[in-house]
Amino acid sequence: MSDLSQIVKAYDVRGTVPDQWDERAAEALGAAFTQLLNSTDEPGDAVVVGYDMRATSPGLAAAFAAGVRAEGRSVIEIGLASTDLLYYASGSLDLPGAMFTASHNPAQYNGIKMCRSGARPIGQESGLAEIRERAQALLDSGDARPAGAPTRPAERRDLLPDYAGYLRKLVDLSGIRPLKVVVDAGNGMGGFTVPTVLGDAALSPLPLEIVPLYFELDGSFPNHEANPLDPANLVDLQRAVVEHGADIGLAFDGDADRCFVVDERGEPVSPSAITALVAARELAKHPGSTVIHGLITSSAVAEIIREHGGQPVVARVGHSFIKAEMARTNAVFGGEHSAHYYFRDFWFADTGMLAAMHTLAALGEQSLPLSVFAGDYERYIASGEINSTVVDQAAAVAEVRAAYPDAVADEMDGLTLRFPDGAWFNLRASNTEPLLRLNVEAPTRDRMVSLRDDVLDRVRR
């Protein structure tokens, strides 16, 4: 019997199949999700369900849909989808939704990202804990489908062309200079969405020459993990950009809700730089607006937001926190160090594709190479995220804090210490593993390396 406390995480459901969860658990989660919707008078009488290319996804999605239908709501099945395509469906149809994906995790994993109507997020504090409790009770009782056989219908819809058309209206790429673009889909859902959004599979052609890498949908990830946050998974893209003489390279994760960028030299462009770039473009359209940035994005992000007349607001790491803060402030845009990008015009949800289109537009509207153009948004030297296995995390953090008594401390999310010379670091615990995650930034490489090594020495001592 599934122990759902092992797979229901802070923001979604995630675990190995079939040992941690299976179709019976998926059906119970579908029923519990619908019970929650019904108990809170969620508008509409249907739930949108989509899934990624993993071998277990269709069966899990079908079982979840059976649980939804048993509890009195119909199902709109959109089939294969990226996570942001599911968010588009939820937003445009104003219906709750469920996306079956384990994002960048290995092949044996699967999961569910659930949202209310209008793509509003569901996390531990906004319904996910209650869903877990309800579903566990159904499993423990031996009755995952308490209302009997499904009585509500299921309808199949293809929303990919509508999604692509909507994004193209938000960012017009038709007038940019011709660009050669290498796209690494990592055998994930970018291989499904990119040909329609950026290619000419369904809409009018754009001045883009797409060089595809690993567009074949394959949930076993035969070429590399679909996790561009790991530099090892960018190597093929970096090599291809140089070999093809491309202007830019794009890498999507497994469910294509995140996008990473490399320049014409094959060098990564930091997500903080992309956050600042897109923020400047959105502020040009919506002067004076609020822009949300994650706690551990570069200091340059807030500086550039202010320089373009915007109001920067910092938020905790994690999509549920970013989305909640965006809704509270009516922010026009939000970005994180993990390459999640959120847009008011996209129901405050994250979409890697729209961020990629903004980057292509910015590059194509001027003549400079990306390495020069993006350099305006890279002002500091960052360490990247460094993980350390630590059993007593609280003691390690306390020791680090005591070592820098003159630094300005912030405990919004873990420990952030800021120094007079502009250097800072954040040390925070993982939600799911005995890890401490360190991010360091400084005005110079020598300062960053010195601070990084000193903190790591104290953490790992």
Residues assigned a catalytic role = 103
Closest CA to 54 of 108, 112, 115: 108
> How large is the angle between the packed helices 445-460 and 393-403, nearest 10 degrees?
130
Core vs surface per residue 337-353: b (16+ CB within 10 A) or e: bbbbbbbbbbbbbbbbb
| E strand segments, 332-458 | 333-335, 341-343, 349-350, 381-382, 386-389, 408-410, 415-418, 424-429, 435-442
- The long-range contacts involving 229-233, CB below 8 angstroms and separated by at least 24 positions, are 229/104, 229/253, 229/258, 229/260, 229/338, 229/339, 229/385, 231/268, 233/186
Q: Beta strand 268-269 with 248-252: parallel, antiparallel or unpaired? A: unpaired
Closest by Cα among 151, 60, 143, 44 to 98 = 60
Ordered DSSP codes for 97-165: EEEE--TTS-TTEEEEEEEEGGGEE--GGGTHHHHHHHHHHHHHHT-S-TT-S--S-EEE---HHHHHH
13 phi and psi angles, rounded to 5 deg: -100, 135
CB 82 within 8 A of CB 353: yes
